[in-house]
Copies of this chain bind each other. A is one copy, B any other.
Amino acid sequence: MASNSQFAISIHVLAMLAKNEDEMVKSEYLAKSVNTNAVVIRRLLCHLQQANLVISQKGASGGTRLAKSADEIRLNEIYQAVLPGESFALHRQKPDQKCPVGKNIEAVLCHLQKDIDRAIEEKLVKYSLADVLKSVETGEIISVCDG
């Protein structure tokens, strides 16, 4: 797969912003830490902005900051912002509608996909961005804040 690493990069970027909560951080700086191109970061930040996770500002002394504090951002919000419902892919070609299994399997798979997505959400909602930052800074295994 030219697999989609946007969720991982998003967490990285947001952790950087959380660490510099009071500043407007520039995409160039974030790109350096992530080791990629600044445009890639800006594209990502657009999505995060649409999800109301960050606020960006153009112009000199512009940049990006979190839209709310790190302990108010849950990882499922990040997941939804960049990878909505991609736990697994469905059929690329439509199955044979003349086959009794082919005719109905899509609906079953679609339901199953939603079910798994729900499970992922339920897991991710437990972690906040603050938990991530804490884990990054202490080297401890990630765990929920009050746990």
Contacts and interface: CB of A to CB of B under 8 A. Distances in A.
A116 interface: yes
Given A2-B2, A91-B5, A119-B119, A104 B32 contact: no
Contact of A127 (B104, B112, B127): B112
Given A5-B92, A86-B3, A88-B83, A19 B101 contact: yes
A115 B11 CA distance: 15
Chain A interface size, under 10 / 10 to 19 / 20 to 34 / 35 or more = 35 or more
A116 B124 CA distance: 8
A137 interface: yes
Interface in A1-57: 1-5, 7-9, 11-12, 15-16, 19, 32-36
A8 B111 contact: no
A147 interface: no
